[in-house]
Amino acid sequence: MSLPLFFTVLRIVISPAFPILYLEYDWFGIPLKALPYVLLFLLCVSESSDLIDGIIARRRNQVTDLGKVLDPMADSVTKIALFLTFTQGFLSLPLILVLVFFYRDFFISTLRTLCAMRGVVLAARFSGKVKAVVQACVLFLILILMIPYTRGSLSLETFRQISLFAVAISAFYTVVSAGDYFYANRIFIKKALSGT
C-alpha cells in the first residue's frame, strides 16, 4: 500500500470514531469539557491526511485510479459521518440538511461511474473543492463553539442557532456546486447516458 493510499484509508477508518465518541463519551470516560478537543483532534488528523495524501501522491507520482476513487469517497464519508453525528445528542441538527450532502455526493459519484463505464471522464470542478472547504470550516466552527458550550459560557440555544445557520449555508452551497457540476458537464453527461 502506497503512503497516499494509507492516509486515504486512514480517513475512512477513523470516521466512525466521531459518532461513537460524541454519543458515548461517558462510556469512554471522556469528560464533557474534553470532548470538543478530542473531536477537534480527530478532525485535524482527517483534514491533514486529506491534504498530505494529495501532496505526496503528486510529488512521488503515485496518483492511482484507486486513489482517485477512494479520495473523494473518504472525504464524503468523513464529513457526512460528522454531520450525521450532530443530528444526535445535544446539538440535534435537522437530518434534512445532512441528506443534502449525502444525496449530492451519491448522485455525482453514481453519474461519474456511469459515464466512466461509457468511456467519458467527468472532471472535478473547482466548486466541488470549495464545497469541501466550506463543509470543513463549518465542522471546525461547530467543534470550536462546543468548547464554550461545554464550559457553560454559551447557551445551548445559541449554539444550536449558529450551528444550524452555518450548516444551512453549507447545504445551500452544496446544492449550488451540484448544479455547477451538472451544467458544466451537461454535454458529456448527455453523450454518456445516450450511449452515442
pLDDT digits (tens, 9 = 90+) for 119-174: 776 767 788 889 989 999 999 999 999 999 999 999 999 999 999 999 999 999 99
**CATH architecture type of domain 3-194:** Up-down Bundle (1.20)
CA angle 146, 152, 157 (to 5 degrees): 65
Residue 87 — pLDDT band, cuts 50, 70, 90?
A: very high
Q: What CA–CA distances, in Å, run from 113 to 117, 122, 181? A: 6, 9, 14
Q: Is the pTM of this model over 0.95?
A: no
Percent of the chain with pLDDT strictly greater than 90: 49
N-term to C-term CA, the chain? 38
Q: What CA–CA distances, in Å, run from 73 to 11, 53, 82, 152? A: 10, 14, 14, 37
Domain boundaries, the chain: 3-194
Instruction: Look at residue 188 and give its three-state secondary structure.
Output: helix
Residue 1 — pLDDT band, cuts 50, 70, 90?
A: low
Mean of the pLDDT values across residues 102-106? 90
